[in-house]
Structures are given as structure tokens and as C-alpha cells.
Amino acid sequence: MITLRGAEVSAKLKVQVEELLKRLGRIPQLAIVRVGDSPDDISYETGAVKKMHAFGLKVEKFVFPEDISDREFKEAFKKINEDSRIDGILVMRPLPPQIVQEDIERMIDPMKDLDGISPVNIAKVFSGDSTGFAPCTAEAVMNVLKLYDIPVAGKRTVVVGRSMVVGRPLAMLLLQDNATVTVCHTKTVELQDICRRAEILVTCAGSARMIDESYVQEGAVVIDVGINVDENGHLCGDVDFDAISSVAACATPVPGGIGNVTTAVLARRLVNAALAQEEAGSEK
């Protein structure tokens, strides 16, 4: 079985970013907005900051206390959103319960919304408008398939997971590339049989090692988006990587797979957002 490593895809995306920066002629800036100190948020934030610096981009963190009021957070977010120095915004979610997250999703400038949370970007993704930003993880999956030259057109593709963060927008991106897509979840009847018919199997269910060799057909491509912690405290995906190695043609590991590509997509998207804003400004 071939291991589809994220580092190789990330390196190719870095070359793309370097070319885009030549067109832009300046270094764009990312704003990371975090409320509280969730270990998951801090871990992703750390990886994103590291990637931005590695790609030669600027990043500023805006960290707020867990108990900040809805009004105070919205006032602070409005300033970040309207700051002309900031080209892109990444909001760490979920936000604490006292903050109305839907209001933030409506507030964020769609052109600065790098992780596809704005209703405007969501609508564009679901309508097939390529100017909309899909969630970075969903686009990372597409980049892995493309940069490893794995064709999706006409392929029986199963996505296990239905969240708006990965599953549903990813299904739309796959459909745009002419895949034949089935979206499943942990309550899908005969899930094992459906997965076993997939030529491309993508898992984003958030269930540690639930996918073993009995879910995978011979020669399938397996993309593991899951990030879980097992009973021994080790990071793992939704896929039992060792178990499927005897049947799958290729698969992404966890760690070292999609997560690495997600932050690289974020970096490329930051530069694209800066270019789009400059073009929009010049047309006014």
C-alpha cells in the first residue's frame, strides 16, 4: 500500500504560494481568532502559525477569555473584520455557548473568510461557484487527490461524515469533479457494505479506528480526515491504518496526512484572498 503523505502535497502548495506572492508584491496577513484555551484549538493554531511562517506569511493571534460576553466579542471581532491590514481571518470553532456563532458567521467578510463559514461562501460552494471558499479541510482532501494524480471523475466515492466542516462541502467539491458520491454517517444502515463498494473512501466521522479492512474493497483509495485520541492517549484517525494496508491501494496516515495539507491550503487561500481583495479594490 502506498502512503499518501501530506508533506509532499504541502511542498507543492508552497511553490504555488511563492508564485502567487510574486503577483501580489507584498506579504499578506492572517488573523487567528481564538476564544478560550481549548487544547484542540491551540494545537491547530500552533500548526497554522508554523505553516504561515514557513510559507513566508504574516500571522497575528487574537485571543480572548473563555467567559467574554457576546457583546464584547462582537465589538472586538468587528474591529478585526474591518482592519484593512488583515487579509484573511480564521475563527477557531466552536465558540463558547454565550457567543451566538451564527452571528459571527454572518458578520465575517466573505472575502476574508478563509475557512468557509460565511453563508455567502457556503452558498457558493453548494452552487458550484468556484469563487467561494470551502472549508480548508475539504479542499485539502481535493488537493491530495489532485496532486497525487488520483482521478475522481466517475468514481464511486463514499464520504463517511456529514458535518458542514468536512463531509457535506467535500461531497459538493467531489461532485463538481464528476465523482459519484454517497454521503454516510455513523447511523447509516449497512455502512460497512456501502463503504466496501467505494473506489474512493473518505472518512471524517470522528470515531477512532472504526474503519478496518472489512470496510475497504481491494485497491481502494482511503483518505482519513479523522483526528482522534485512542485509549492510550495516542493521536489516530478514523481508519485502522495497519489493518487496511493489506487491501487498500493507497491511504493517508494520521498524523502526517490531511492535517498537514489543511494548513498549507489555509496559507494559499490567504494569498488568494489578498489578491482578490486588491482586484476588487481596483475595480471600484
**Residue 214 has what DSSP assignment?**
G
Q: Per-residue pLDDT tens for 53-84?
A: 999 999 999 999 999 999 999 999 999 999 99
Q: Which CATH superfamily is domain 24-108 in?
A: Leucine Dehydrogenase, chain A, domain 1 (3.40.50.10860)
pTM strictly above 0.85: yes
Write down the pLDDT at residue 282. Answer: 64
Q: Is the pLDDT of residue 39 over 90?
A: no
When pLDDT is averaged across residues 93-105 and rounded to a whole number, the result is 97
Q: Is 259 annotated as a binding residue?
A: no
Write down the pLDDT at residue 194. Answer: 98
Q: Is 227 annotated as a binding residue?
A: yes
Q: Is 99 annotated as a binding residue?
A: no
Instruction: Tell me whether domains 24-108 and 135-257 share a fold.
Output: yes
When pLDDT is averaged across residues 72-99 and rounded to a whole number, the result is 97
Report residue 281's pLDDT band, with 50, 70 and 90 as the boundaries: confident
Q: Is the pLDDT of residue 120 over 90?
A: yes
Q: Is 163 annotated as a binding residue?
A: yes
Give the residue extent of every domain in the chain: 24-108, 135-257
Mean pLDDT for the chain overall: 95
Q: Per-residue pLDDT tens for 200-229?
A: 999 999 999 999 999 999 999 999 999 988
Share of the chain above pLDDT 70, in %: 99
* Cα–Cα separations (whole angstroms), residue 129 to 109, 124, 147, 176: 17, 5, 22, 10
When pLDDT is averaged across residues 100-106 and rounded to a whole number, the result is 97
When pLDDT is averaged across residues 123-132 and rounded to a whole number, the result is 94
Write down the pLDDT at residue 61. Answer: 98
Write down the pLDDT at residue 181. Answer: 98
When pLDDT is averaged across residues 7-15 and rounded to a whole number, the result is 97
Write down the pLDDT at residue 239. Answer: 97
The CATH architecture that domain 135-257 belongs to is 3-Layer(aba) Sandwich (3.40)
Rounded Cα distance, 12 and 264, in Å: 9
Rounded Cα distance, 135 and 166, in Å: 7
Q: Is the pLDDT of residue 197 over 60?
A: yes
Cell of 260: 498537514
Instruction: Give the residue from 49, 51, 50, 84 showing the smallest Cα distance to 63.
Output: 49
Rounded Cα distance, 123 and 138, in Å: 15
Q: Is the pLDDT of residue 283 over 70?
A: no
Contact 116, 165 (CB under 8 A): no
Instruction: Give the residue from 1, 66, 20 showing the smallest Cα distance to 268.
Output: 20
Write down the pLDDT at residue 229. Answer: 85
